[in-house]
Amino acid sequence: MELQQLTRLMYQTSQRINKTTTEIYKMAKEKAQTEHDYRKALSQEIAKLRAENVQATLIPDLARGNVSELKLKRDMADVMFKSAVESLKALQSELNGLQTISKYQSDIGR
């Protein structure tokens, strides 16, 4: 692999890492917000069911069922965040590999 091509690949990977880091920050905020929304709606639903004198043993299941769309959004945000973190790790490994190749080539060239 030519030095110029290797340098370009390293630069591109660094740029992808920067972009991914920014996206992870946004996803972390989204993950936290969806968790907040779900927990708030769940507590409100539990209070509503208690006020309606629903049998106490049924309240947790009914409340979770009634706010299941928010739970789905929360779970999806969590999975997307974890996926982005794994993607960042893969990019970091790719950059590490390219740096190793670069060092090896420069050591051979001496």
| CA nearest neighbour of 70 among 43, 37, 31 | 37
Asked if 42 contacts 62 with a C-beta cutoff of 8 angstroms, the reply is: no
Question: What are the structure tokens assigned to 50, written together?
Answer: 């208690």
Q: Exposed, middle or buried, 16 (CB in 10 Å: 0-12/13-18/19+)?
A: middle
E strand or H helix at 102, and its extent?
A: helix 68-108
> Taking the chain (110 residues) in consecutive chunks of 10 residues, what is each chunk's mean pLDDT?
88 96 97 98 98 97 98 98 97 95 81
Q: How far is Cα 87 from Cα 84, in angstroms, rounded to an integer?
A: 5
Q: How far is Cα 27 from Cα 77, in angstroms, rounded to an integer?
A: 7
Q: 53's torsion region: left (phi>0), alpha (psi -120 to 50) or beta?
A: left
Instruction: Report the pLDDT value the prediction gives residue 110, as an integer from 0 to 100.
Output: 59
Q: Which amino acid is at 109?
A: G
Instruction: Report the pLDDT value the prediction gives residue 108, as an integer from 0 to 100.
Output: 81
Asked if 42 contacts 63 with a C-beta cutoff of 8 angstroms, the reply is: yes
Q: Rounded to two decimals, what is the model's pTM? A: 0.83
Q: How far is Cα 37 from Cα 33, in angstroms, rounded to an integer?
A: 6
